Amino acid sequence: MRVVPARYMQCHLKMPFDSHRNKKLKVLEPIWIHYTPPCVVSRAVLPHTMPKPQSNNQWSPDVIIYTDAAVDTNGSTAVSYRLTTETGTVIDEDGYVLGESYRSHIAEYIAVLKAISIAKDHGYEDPVIYTDYEGIIEHVFGEASPSDEKQENLKDKIVSVLRSQFNKWMLEYLPRDQNEQAHDLANQAMKNGVATGT
């Protein structure tokens, strides 16, 4: 059963303007207004004094994406993706062995990049993307800094693709025990040594 976490919309914000001094005023907290796409969902916990977006800001994703990666003791690396509808019908899924060896956290980034590229090729514009590596979430939303240049570059690529190629999107952490299908696809690809799935 898929659990969609409750998050707030991070939308365009309005800065008050002082017409007498002909300059924008500094404010300590952003102010919610009706969103204009593109719009993303933020993990940030909003101050309790801030009004929540109105119900007409809610949206339904057109695809659910699950991603994962696997690295064995020999250094072989595989990534996987699984695209489904909101009701769980599988649209596309596959696993791939990469041509190079990567550390597990780098492979997780590559898995997300592969998955969102496939989703775009299918023509989807409003995805929810799940990964069981929380570091990606923390880095994309600025909650933590990537530990090396490779991570930083991959994070920048993910952000660039999401912002430029999609209308609205959500990127969320999913515990591994709820991401078993994508996990199995990566492991099966590793075992077979070739692409697997549909």
pLDDT tens profile 29-79? 333 333 333 444 444 332 222 233 333 456 789 999 999 999 987 778 999
Tokens of 9: 């919309």
pLDDT over 70 (residue 18): no
Going by C-alpha positions, the residue among 177, 196, 191 that lies closest to residue 76 is 191
First to last CA, the chain: 22
Question: In this structure, are residues 69 and 111 in contact, taking their beta carbons and an 8 Å threshold?
Answer: yes
- In CATH, which superfamily holds the domain spanning 63-197? Ribonuclease H-like superfamily/Ribonuclease H (3.30.420.10)
Is the pLDDT reported for residue 81 higher than 50? Answer: yes
The pLDDT value recorded for residue 195 is 52
What is the reported pLDDT for 15?
34
Please name the residues in contact with 78: beta carbons below 8 A apart, sequence gap of 6 or more.
69, 70, 71, 95, 96, 97, 98, 107, 186, 187, 189, 190
Q: Considering the chain, what is the average pLDDT of its residues?
A: 75
Question: Are the beta carbons of 75 and 138 closer than 8 angstroms?
Answer: no
Task: Tell me: cis bond preceding 38? Omega within 30 of 0 counts.
Answer: yes
Q: What is the mean pLDDT of residues 116-136?
A: 95
Residue spans of the domains in the chain: they are 63-197
Cβ atoms within 10 Å of 21's Cβ, excluding its own: 8
pLDDT digits (tens, 9 = 90+) for 137-160: 999 998 899 989 999 999 999 999
Whole-number pLDDT of residue 192: 84
DSSP string, the chain: -------EEE--B---EETTTTEEPP-SS--B----SSEEEE-PPPPTTSPPPPGGG----SEEEEEEEEE-TT--EEEEEEEE-TT--EEEEEEEE-SS---HHHHHHHHHHHHHHHHHHTT--SEEEEES-HHHHHHHTTSS--SSHHHHHHHHHHHHHHHHH-SEEEEEE--GGG-HHHHHHHHHHHHHSS-EE-
pTM value surpassing 0.85 = no
Q: How far apart are CA 146 and CA 124, in angstroms?
A: 28
* Helix 104-121, helix 149-165: angle, nearest 10: 20
